[in-house]
Amino acid sequence: MNLKQLSKLTFLFLVCCTVSINSTRLDAFDLDKFKNKLEKLKQQKEDLQEKKKTLDLATGNVNKRDEINIGRNVISGLLGAAPLVDNEPLQQYVNKIGYWIALQSERPKLPWTFGVIHSKNINAFASPGGYIVLTLGLYELLENESQLAAILAHEISHVIEKHHLDAIRDTSKREILGALAVKATSKKHREKMQKLVNSSVQIYARGLDKKFEFGADRRGVVLAARAGYDPYAMLDVLTTLHSISAADDSMTVFLNTHPPLAKRIKTLENLMDRHLVIHNIPTDNQRLQRVNHMIASKP
């Protein structure tokens, strides 16, 4: 070790000593003051975050975490209107198919969650953040897995395009949206949430702008095709629904909130004739039929 190195080491040692003496002094004399300051800074940071969130939500810049929290609260409202069908194999089946289709989408990393809800009404709902339900009444009309995929892909498209999130944002006050973007954990918190949820789920009774339904039809068939399903199955589903008359009250909300089925069918036919590029039409894998058989035959 030469002289130069030794002097460097000595310098470093002195620096260390000074720092440690200083911090000891801090421990002894200024700890409370320091703690207070830290507390104040923390508070300021939280206030700023809160303000930023309100601003973001108002300007349409809802981050992913807020979107998921809004979606969880909103879907809880729909689950309050109609609970999940008490059948694990059915729920798992729909979740696997839905997740696989969502993997082909532009937002594969959302927490995609699906459910069949107990209602004889015919409908399906998409909540922000990737929460999707369809009614048992609709599920029972399906003939094969491609038709199930068609419905899930349509709803997934609503989430990808943030149709409901935008609609809730546009119709809610900033404070409501901000409060809705919170993960409700405690019982008290959850009870407070009801008013907020009630005001936001109105969108499902009122329906989206009709152009968003046409948009979800257009994107949905492509997502289903990407996932390896027969994309024309969406037309099968729409035709089946069209065979149920408006006099059937299981369709009331659906018909009030969606464009006329004849127009949806015609629009999709034209689009797919002209623009759909697929390599082959896959044959049905018979899985939906097997799952239904299993569900029906199990006591």
Site for other proteins in 122-151 (CB under 8 A): 123, 131, 133, 135-136, 139-143, 145
How far apart are CB 64 and other proteins at their closest, in Å?
16
User: Within positions 67 to 126, which residues make up the interface with other proteins, using CB under 8 A?
Assistant: 72-73, 75-88, 91-92, 95-100, 103-104, 111-115, 118-119, 121, 123
**Is there binding between residue 259 and other proteins (CB under 8 A)?**
yes
Give the total of residues touching other proteins (CB under 8 A).
111
Coil, helix or strand at residue 173: coil
- Residues with Cβ within 8 Å of 43's Cβ and at least 6 positions away in sequence, in order, are none
How far apart are CB 58 and other proteins at their closest, in Å?
24
43 versus 198: smaller Cβ distance to other proteins? 198
How far apart are CB 194 and other proteins at their closest, in Å?
6
How far apart are CB 101 and other proteins at their closest, in Å?
9
104 versus 171: smaller Cβ distance to other proteins? 104
42 versus 96: smaller Cβ distance to other proteins? 96
**Is there binding between residue 218 and other proteins (CB under 8 A)?**
yes
Residue 221 carries which side chain, given as an amino acid letter?
V
Token output for 244: 């149920």
CA atoms of 78 and 202, how far apart (whole Å): 10
Angle subtended at Cα 192 by Cα 188 and Cα 195, rounded to the nearest 5 degrees: 160
Region near other proteins per CB under 8 A, out of 4-12, 15-23, 167-175, 249-257: 249-257
**Is there binding between residue 159 and other proteins (CB under 8 A)?**
no
187 sits in which H/E element: helix 187-206
159 versus 197: smaller Cβ distance to other proteins? 197
Cα end-to-end span (Å), the chain = 85
CA atoms of 156 and 127, how far apart (whole Å): 9
User: Within positions 6 to 25, which residues make up the interface with other proteins, using CB under 8 A?
Assistant: none
**10 Å Cβ neighbour count for 65?**
12
2 versus 297: smaller Cβ distance to other proteins? 297
User: Within positions 31 to 70, which residues make up the interface with other proteins, using CB under 8 A?
Assistant: none
How far apart are CB 39 and other proteins at their closest, in Å?
32
Coil, helix or strand at residue 127: strand
Of residues 126, 111, 115, the one with CA closest to residue 82: 115
- Residues with Cβ within 8 Å of 141's Cβ and at least 6 positions away in sequence, in order, are 122, 237, 240, 241
How far apart are CB 28 and other proteins at their closest, in Å?
49
**Is there binding between residue 273 and other proteins (CB under 8 A)?**
yes
CA atoms of 150 and 154, how far apart (whole Å): 6
How far apart are CB 49 and other proteins at their closest, in Å?
25
Coil, helix or strand at residue 115: strand
CA atoms of 231 and 223, how far apart (whole Å): 8
**Is there binding between residue 188 and other proteins (CB under 8 A)?**
no
How far apart are CB 129 and other proteins at their closest, in Å?
11
Secondary structure letter of residue 29 according to DSSP: I
